[in-house]
Amino acid sequence: ANFIKERKPKLLIPPESAGSSSSVTVIKGGVLLLECIAEGLPTPHLSWVKVTGNTPKEEPETENFGKILKIEQVTAADEGTYQCTASNAMGRARHEFHVHVEEPPQWLKKPEGGVYSVGRNLVLLCEAIGNPEPSIQWKLNGMPIDARTFRGRISTREISLTNLQLQDSAVFQCEATNKHGTILASANVNVLNIAPLILTPDGENYATVVGYSAFLHCDIFASPKADVRWTKDDSIESLSTFHYELNKNGTLEIRAARKEDSGSYACWASNSVGKRAITANLDVRDATKLVVTPKSPRVLKSHSVLLKCQAEFDPHLKQSFQLSWRKDGQELPANSTGGGRIILDRDTLFISSVLLEDQGVYACVASTALDTARAEAQLVVLDVPDPPEDLQLSEHQNRSVRLSWKAGASHNSPVNESIIEFEANRSEPERWQELSRVPGNGTTALLALAPYVDYRFRVVSVNGVGRSQPSKPSLRYATPPAAPDKNPENIRVEASEPNEMVMKWEPLKPMERNGPGLEYKVSWRQRGVEADWNEELVKKHSLSVRNVPTFVPYEIKVQAVNSLGSGPEPNVTIGYSGEDFPDAAPSGVSVEVVNSTLVKVFWFGIPRDRVRGHLRGYKVSWWKTRSLLDGKRHHPEKHFLTFVGDRNYGMIPGLEPFSEFRLTVLAFNSRGDGPESSPVVFETPEGVPDQPRFLRILSFDRESVTLSWGLPKRANGNLTGYILQYQI
């Protein structure tokens, strides 16, 4: 039989002749490639592991089915021993790679040159790293330094000179080298011995404003280093109080300048070689001040607001004075913005039809050549709340449910009340009615519900500005039916005919029915008579009963009934059957004459059993029969007055004087008028006549006048004469 013999792994690369380990060198920043190729049967599996050195944060990348280990951008942390293992069921073979990471020289510290004065000491440092460690060589003006002839001290990392002289000026170089490269750094050393040079021009003019710092410059070059001091006006004393600070570069800083800091200043610079001075002038101006009014405006949405910026600034700065407006740090353009709603007019800012997004911090910013000032106003926009959101129903019961919601934004006016409205789909769809109110900023309420209603709820929030739009409706909640909780109200009896009784009542509202099949159980019986109740079920809200005695009291009950049961026991109401006309006339009618136009009438009322209804009052009728002046009879023209209630007298005004009258009295009830009494005759006395109809002058001379006048329209009696009055 043919067969293949299994064999354990054998490394082909590196070959067995290389031994169990080998060394690999790689440059920092380069790519490390380690390769293992093995043969065997079954085919060996290759794996890599780092056995010494820092453990890598990530698994190294492999290529060519694990034969090559690849590391890019090699660092010092990648140094160590890597082991390649080839394994199968017959055994394993290993090889170790000792990886060394080397790098070219890099600077840790480079020598730094500079300007030095005669007599000073010099120290230059030079330090580099690399692998292998680089060697350091010092050079002077490009040539290696001979330590035997160099007057200073020299070491690997440092070179120094004491008591520098002019001839020590030179270019010092440090060179670091290893097998991977060379780096070179130079330091220019200049040894000088000169008197101070003041680079700032003499007579400079400076200006600042009160409260700001002033900086007077004195830029100096000197070797040796110069001593610097400042004086003011004619004083020789150096400025050294806390109000002044001398910077290292010779600049004098005057902190929080005051008016009295204005004047002439001198900068003095001196060293061992010489001395120099310059002067400078300082003007301290008044600081710019701003006030914005109103400071904290609170404006209703859609209303307008006007901000005014009042500025005070130094007259000398008028030419450079500029004013601008900002909102929340962003500058507003000089032209109107917001579709013409926001208008800037130098020191005023006007916003019409204010929107919610107009809320913010508005700043008036003034700038001059010397300072900047800023004043702010916090604009608060008030509006009705946003509608409540996320309505949720919980704690479902037959007669109650809990409604919860999330409040909308209050827009700077706290919510002081929430109004809960409902819609009953069965009875009044799409008609929203108020159900409850929640004070303050509460967001939940336990709602009392009526039976047999398919509810939907919504919430309206109220703040100091007004009412929000309603929220979106909640889910529906239908309560189960129940017997009525109440009976009809306002039970009454109306009748248009005698021997009839029409019982009426206010029907239950749809929300009060509590269930299907609503009817009214009407019970009645004559009051004071021992008899059973008469009963009848009706669906409408009235019941007419005929063939009853006229105007008799009845006890009446109306009870609500539906398919689930009856309402509570109803109260008894007293009502009367239909009325008829009174059948008796008042008696004992008499007249008392008060004056020529007024009389008082008396009568005896009719008996109660003759009223045959509810007595509403009495009517007095009268008419003129003739004039007592000429005896002429008149066509009867009746007049009447109504006196409400049960009374026995009345006043009749507006009569004609000196006339004969007839008068009757009748009683009336809800049905109508009863019979009149027998007429009573009375006469009115004479009265005051009307004025003459006219007065004319017919003729006149120096001693007399002839007059003519007309009779009065109504004499109201027998005329006895005229009274003539005149005035001179």
pLDDT at 206: 96
Query: At 608, which helix (H) or strand (E)?
Result: helix 608-611
pLDDT at position 718 is 87
pLDDT digits over 147-171, tens only?
Answer: 888 899 998 899 999 999 989 999 9
Mean pLDDT, residues 325-331 taken together: 93
User: Do 79 and 145 fall within a single domain?
Assistant: no
How sure is the predictor about 336, in pLDDT bands with cuts at 50, 70 and 90? low
| Residue 1, domain member (yes or no) | no
Is 293 a domain residue? yes
Q: Are residues 591 and 659 in the same domain?
A: yes
CA distance 317 to 286: 9
| Within a domain: 312 | yes
Q: Are residues 719 and 670 in the same domain?
A: no
What local confidence, expressed as pLDDT, does residue 118 receive? 87
Q: What is the pLDDT of residue 389?
A: 96
**Secondary structure class of 511 (helix, strand, coil):** helix
User: Are 368 and 306 part of one and the same domain?
Assistant: yes
Is residue 484 domain-resident? no
Residue that finishes a domain, picked among 56, 78, 102: 102
Helix (H, G, I), strand (E, B) or coil at 49: strand
User: pLDDT per residue over 431-461, tens digit each?
Assistant: 999 999 999 999 999 999 999 999 999 999 9
What are all long-range contacts of 327-331, with beta carbons under 8 Å and residues at least 24 apart? 327/360, 327/361, 327/362, 327/363, 328/360, 328/361, 329/361, 329/363
CA 318 to each of CA 20, 208, 321, 365, 728: distance values in angstroms, whole numbers, following the listed order: 91, 14, 5, 15, 85
* Over residues 536-555, mean pLDDT: 92
Does some domain include residue 459? yes
Whether residue 344 is found in the same domain as residue 409:
no
In a domain, 483, yes or no: no
> Does residue 140 have a pLDDT over 50?
yes
- 603 alpha carbon, distance to own chain's centre: 77
pLDDT band (50, 70, 90) for residue 699: confident
Band of the pLDDT at 1, cuts 50, 70, 90? Answer: very low
Q: How many other β-carbons are positioned within 10 Å of the β-carbon of residue 543? A: 18
Same domain, 530 and 508: yes
- Please indicate, yes or no, whether residues 11 and 93 belong to a single structural domain of this protein: yes
Round to whole Å and give the CA distance between 363 and 447.
49
At 240, the pLDDT band (50, 70, 90 cuts) reads confident
pLDDT confidence of residue 59 = 78
pLDDT tens string 25-84: 999 989 999 999 999 999 999 999 998 888 777 778 888 888 999 999 998 888 999 999
> Which residues on adjacent β-strands are paired with residue 123?
160
**Tell me, what's the pLDDT at 317?**
93
Query: What's the average model confidence in pLDDT over 81-96?
Result: 92
Please tell me the least confidently modeled range out of 47-56, 316-325, 484-493.
Answer: 47-56
Query: What's the DSSP call for residue 396?
Result: -
CA 407 to mean position of chain CA atoms: 12
Question: Same structural domain for residues 29 and 82?
Answer: yes
**Mean of pLDDT values over 524-551:** 92
H or E stretch at 209: strand 204-209
The tally of domains found in the chain comes to 8
pLDDT score of 3 more than 80: no
Average pLDDT over residues 696-719: 88
Verify that 355 and 306 share a domain, yes or no: yes
Domain final residue pick, 192, 217, 232: 192
20-29, 446-455, 512-521: range with lowest mean pLDDT? 20-29
| In-domain check, residue 582 | no
> Does 426 score more than 80 pLDDT?
no
**Domain with 513 in it: what CATH number?**
2.60.40.10
Is residue 670's pLDDT more than 70?
yes
Q: Is residue 276 part of a domain?
A: yes
pLDDT value of position 338: 59
Same domain, 77 and 121: no
Range of the domain at 56: 7-102
pLDDT value at residue 337: 64
d(CA 504, CA 542) in angstroms, rounded, equals 4
Q: Which of 268, 216, 277 is nearest to 238 (CA)?
A: 268
Tell me the pLDDT tens digit for each residue of 604-662.
Answer: 999 998 998 889 999 999 999 998 988 777 778 899 999 999 999 999 999 999 999 99
Count CA within 13 A, CB hemisphere, residue 298: 7
CA distances from 493 to 509, 534, 577, 613 (A): 21, 16, 7, 13
Q: Residues 188, 199: one domain? A: no
Question: 542 with 556, same domain?
Answer: yes
> How far is 666 from 430, CA to CA, in rounded Å?
56
Residue 295: pLDDT above 90?
yes
Which of these three, 382, 401, 432, is where a domain ends? 382
Mean model confidence pLDDT for the chain: 92
